[in-house]
Amino acid sequence: MTRLMIIVGSVREGRIGLPIAQWVLKEAEADGRFDIDFADLKEIALPLMDEPNHPRLRQYTKDYTKAWSARVDAAEAYIFVQPEYNYSFTPSLKNALDYLHQEWRRKPVGTVSYGGISGGTRGVVALRPVQQALGLVPTSSNVELAWAAQQLDDDGAFQPRESNERMLHAQFDELVALTDALRPLRS
């Protein structure tokens, strides 16, 4: 089984990222190929990066950093559920990424992005240089949800379109294949 971490990248009150991430979680569980860690950055509540040492050294001094490091290190693949903020990605996601370094290396990452007309595409593009610097390997199959708020039902649950489901399952396939291919490089 692939150890998959689903990261909810928005911490904003009223965020639609949580119901979208819950849909991703439900689909990943039903897929059956994943051991899943659901990481909600709002619950994790990392303060603005406050470690005294460069993350590359892995000389963490804070218990919350050590806990975050252990979770990220244990994962073999990631899905970032992220909105687009001003043509970029969220500060909470940037902060969570910057806390660590080696833990991300040579692991695949897919995105489920949401926003207005672009579906969060510009936020994903802005994230690419950060992913590259950390050694993450992005999937080519990404879910982009334009006007995602219109896909919430009266109870606030996300209702995917068939095309959303197809793309998410293509991303699952790619995450598994990339995890298998990259595993020897991490040994």
149-168: per-residue pLDDT in tens?
999 999 999 999 999 999 99
Residues comprising the chain, all counted: 187
Rounded mean pLDDT, 1-8: 98
pLDDT level of residue 177 (50, 70, 90 thresholds): very high
Which residues fall within 8 angstroms of residue 32, CB to CB, at 6 or more apart? none
Question: CA 139 to CA 136: how far, in whole Å?
Answer: 10
2-186 classified as CATH 3.40.50.2300: no
Task: Give the start-to-end residue ranges of the domains of the chain.
Answer: 2-186
| Average pLDDT of the residues of the chain | 97
Structure tokens at 107: 């692991």
Point out which residues pair with 39 in neighbouring strands: 7
Helices 91-98 and 121-134 sit at what angle, rounded to 10 degrees?
A: 10
Beta carbons within 10 angstroms of residue 65's beta carbon? 21
Whole-structure pTM over 0.85, yes or no? Answer: yes
Answer whether 20's CB lies under 8 Å from 160's CB.
no
Percent of the chain whose pLDDT exceeds 90 = 99
In this predicted structure, the answer to whether residue 90 has a pLDDT above a threshold of 90 is: yes
In this predicted structure, the answer to whether residue 73 has a pLDDT above a threshold of 90 is: yes
Which pLDDT belongs to residue 104? 98
Answer whether 77's CB lies under 8 Å from 172's CB.
no
Which pLDDT belongs to residue 39? 98
Structure tokens at 174: 């790619």
Beta carbons within 10 angstroms of residue 89's beta carbon? 27
Q: Dump pLDDT digits (tens) for 62-71.
A: 999 999 999 9
In this predicted structure, the answer to whether residue 51 has a pLDDT above a threshold of 90 is: yes
Burial class of residue 29 in the structure, from the number of CB atoms within 10 Å of its CB (0-12 exposed, 13-18 middle, 19+ buried): exposed
Which pLDDT belongs to residue 187? 80
Which pLDDT belongs to residue 168? 98
In this predicted structure, the answer to whether residue 111 has a pLDDT above a threshold of 90 is: yes
Question: CA 171 to CA 139: how far, in whole Å?
Answer: 7
In this predicted structure, the answer to whether residue 82 has a pLDDT above a threshold of 90 is: yes
Question: CA 34 to CA 17: how far, in whole Å?
Answer: 21
